[in-house]
């Protein structure tokens, strides 16, 4: 098996910074960390030097809609419901095809690799097409098919969407990089009877349930008017809090909702930039952490963010909650880094990623300290959260495979993918 030793000035390994060390990788797994490139007498390591650099675990983006990347910047400065109902849903019904999803996912994969994301959790349609792109890219993903009450060109009704999800699950059940989930869109678009079917499906196959929850204030009101319950109460009643779950947003929670999520150890994907851009509000992350909720970080789709940049997202999370709480001690740099790595892995139930340690998958990124904004270095974690740009990521590895080195992609043709994306944008522009 291929043995590689990656040298860096700083390596964030098992929650600690190690100086002038080698990360030892055997095949697709991490073997350990050493001050020498020949730990325990094993010779034959190929040595790779990353000078003036930091090695971090790969970032985990727990809420994405990859096929929407080609809608980036198409409809801005609108509230969630106007944005969805008047712009995004009509554009999706007009443009979405397998070719569109592939072109979009390719562009998304390029962006993720270049900004240090090694795993994403995606909710959408055309999951097979997207999964094939991610496979080619070498990225790890939790992929799920969306479920809605109503018909779209991807399905007739909830049963039909679940049937498609079942086929997808069977196809990828034993895949090395792709895991599967089920993604009922939200309690305001999927009624409790259908949501219950999703919960039952997840229970039966031991799958992650990934959904949008309490994103906008009127969403709560819709559920209270229709069902007499908040979205979180609905989740509790149908048993979704007992499952492996990933609740995106959770911006509008009552104290009781928050406590219920905390008591059951629920997972929340915090999408701060999307929530700010759509004017949805601010999730109460400080209280959520105190209540015992596992918080990870998601960018949401690039149509509402407008990028998939987890480094920018971590920066927003760390800064905004300090400002909101008027307390600079809220969410330290290391806490936010953990949200974007190990908490994300916990959310997705992926036990072998999110942290660099022996036996884990070798998913890691290299961040350069060359640029003026990264100089000098007292604390590399502080730099990643408060100073780094996504362009400081110089190399990205998943399962020991190098996907980018010196900012050159090795698995995808970036130029062709960008040219193709521009052609799609022109088509959309010409047919408005
Ligand atoms: Zn979303």
Ligand 1 centroid–CA 123 distance in Å is 8
C-alpha of 45 from chain center: 32
- Specify the pLDDT at position 89: 87
Per residue in 221-238, pLDDT (tens digit) is: 999 999 999 999 999 999
Q: Is the pLDDT of residue 107 over 60?
A: yes
Q: What separation in angstroms does the CA of 9 have from each of 15, 40, 416?
A: 16, 21, 35
Q: Is the pLDDT of residue 40 over 70?
A: no
Residue with tokens 């018909």: 151
The reply to whether the predicted model has a pTM over 0.85 is: yes
Q: Is the pLDDT of residue 7 over 70?
A: yes
Ligand 1 centroid–CA 87 distance in Å is 15
How far is residue 98's CA from residue 67's CA, in Å, rounded to a whole number? 9
User: Is domain 59-348 in CATH 3.20.20.140, yes or no?
Assistant: yes
- Specify the pLDDT at position 38: 64
Q: Are 3 and 46 in contact (CB under 8 A)?
A: yes
Ligand 1 centroid–CA 405 distance in Å is 31
Ligand 1 centroid–CA 359 distance in Å is 32
What is the average pLDDT across 149-166?
93
Percent of the chain residues past pLDDT 90, beyond the cut: 88
Per residue in 61-92, pLDDT (tens digit) is: 999 999 999 999 988 999 888 988 999 889 98
Q: What separation in angstroms does the CA of 432 have from each of 71, 230, 425?
A: 13, 38, 11
Ligand 1 centroid–CA 248 distance in Å is 7
Ligand 1 centroid–CA 328 distance in Å is 29
Ligand 1 centroid–CA 222 distance in Å is 18
Contacts (Cβ under 8 Å, ≥6 apart) of 420: 103, 106, 107
Q: Is the pLDDT of residue 50 over 90?
A: yes
Ligand 1 centroid–CA 273 distance in Å is 12
- Specify the pLDDT at position 251: 98
Per residue in 401-430, pLDDT (tens digit) is: 999 999 999 999 999 999 999 999 999 988
Instruction: Tell me where in the chain the CATH 2.30.40.10 domain(s) lie.
Output: 3-57+362-399
Ligand 1 centroid–CA 53 distance in Å is 33
With cut-offs at 50, 70 and 90, classify the pLDDT of residue 43: low
User: Is 209 in a helix, a strand, or coil?
Assistant: strand
With cut-offs at 50, 70 and 90, classify the pLDDT of residue 44: confident
Per residue in 340-392, pLDDT (tens digit) is: 999 999 999 999 999 999 999 999 999 999 999 999 999 999 999 999 999 99
Which is more confident, 36 or 226? 226
With cut-offs at 50, 70 and 90, classify the pLDDT of residue 153: confident
Ligand 1 centroid–CA 276 distance in Å is 13
Fill in the DSSP letter of residue 411: S
Per residue in 181-218, pLDDT (tens digit) is: 999 999 999 999 999 999 999 999 999 999 999 999 88
Ligand 1 centroid–CA 212 distance in Å is 6
Angle between helices 98-114 and 127-137 (to 10 degrees): 40
CATH of domain 3-57+362-399: 2.30.40.10
In this structure, what are the phi and psi dihedrals at residue 318, rounded to the nearest 5 degrees?
Answer: -65, -40
DSSP state letters, 70-92: GGTTSS-S--HHHIIIIIIHHHH
How far is residue 38's CA from residue 45's CA, in Å, rounded to a whole number? 7
Ligand 1 centroid–CA 211 distance in Å is 8
How far is residue 320's CA from residue 312's CA, in Å, rounded to a whole number? 12
Length of the chain: 432
Per residue in 231-278, pLDDT (tens digit) is: 999 999 999 999 999 999 999 999 999 999 999 999 999 999 999 999
Instruction: Tell me where in the chain the CATH 3.20.20.140 domain(s) lie.
Output: 59-348
Burial of 319 (0-12, 13-18, 19+ CB in 10 A): middle
Per residue in 278-337, pLDDT (tens digit) is: 999 999 999 999 999 999 999 999 988 999 999 999 999 999 999 999 999 999 999 999
What is the residue-averaged pLDDT of the chain? 95
- Specify the pLDDT at position 252: 97
Ligand 1 centroid–CA 64 distance in Å is 6
């Amino acid at each position: 098996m291929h043995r590689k030793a990656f040298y860096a000035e700083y390596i964030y390994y098992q929650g600690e910074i190690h100086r002038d060390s080698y990360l030892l990788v055997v095949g697709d797994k991490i073997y350990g960390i050493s001050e020498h490139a020949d730990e325990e007498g094993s010779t034959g390591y190929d040595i790779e030097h990353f000078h003036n650099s930091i090695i971090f675990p790969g970032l985990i983006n727990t809420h994405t809609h990859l096929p929407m990347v080609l809608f980036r910047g198409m409809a801005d400065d609108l509230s969630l419901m106007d944005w969805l109902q008047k712009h995004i849903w009509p554009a999706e019904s007009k443009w979405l095809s397998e070719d569109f999803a592939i072109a979009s996912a390719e562009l998304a994969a390029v962006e993720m690799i270049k900004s240090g994301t090694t795993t994403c959790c995606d909710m959408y349609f055309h999951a097979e097409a997207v999964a094939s792109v991610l496979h080619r890219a070498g990225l790890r993903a939790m992929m799920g098919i969306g479920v809605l009450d109503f018909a779209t060109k991807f399905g007739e009704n909830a049963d039909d969407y679940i049937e498609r999800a079942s086929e997808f699950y069977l196809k990828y059940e034993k895949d090395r990089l792709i895991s599967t989930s089920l993604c009922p869109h939200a309690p305001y678009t999927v009624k409790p009877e259908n949501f219950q079917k999703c919960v039952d499906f997840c229970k039966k196959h031991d799958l992650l349930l990934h959904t949008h929850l309490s994103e906008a204030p009127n969403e709560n009101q819709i559920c209270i008017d229709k069902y007499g319950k908040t979205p979180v109460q609905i989740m509790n009643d149908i048993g979704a809090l007992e499952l492996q779950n990933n609740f995106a947003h959770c911006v509008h929670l009552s104290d009781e909702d928050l406590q219920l999520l905390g008591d059951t150890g629920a997972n929340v994907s915090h999408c701060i930039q999307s929530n700010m851009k759509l004017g949805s509000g601010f999730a109460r992350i400080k209280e959520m952490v105190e209540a015992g909720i596992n918080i990870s970080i998601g960018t949401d789709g690039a149509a509402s963010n407008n990028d998939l940049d987890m480094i920018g997202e971590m920066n927003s999370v760390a800064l905004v909650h300090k400002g909101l709480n008027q307390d600079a001690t809220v969410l330290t740099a290391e806490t936010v880094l953990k949200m974007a790595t190990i908490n994300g892995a916990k959310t997705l139930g992926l036990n072998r990623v999110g942290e660099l340690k022996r036996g884990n998958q070798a998913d890691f990124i290299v961040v350069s300290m060359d640029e003026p904004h990264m100089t000098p270095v007292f604390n590399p974690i502080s730099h990643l959260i408060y100073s780094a740009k996504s362009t400081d990521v110089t190399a990205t590895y998943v399962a020991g495979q190098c996907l980018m080195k010196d900012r050159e992609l090795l698995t995808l043709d970036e130029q062709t993918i960008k040219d193709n994306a521009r052609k799609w944008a022109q088509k959309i522009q010409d047919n408005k």
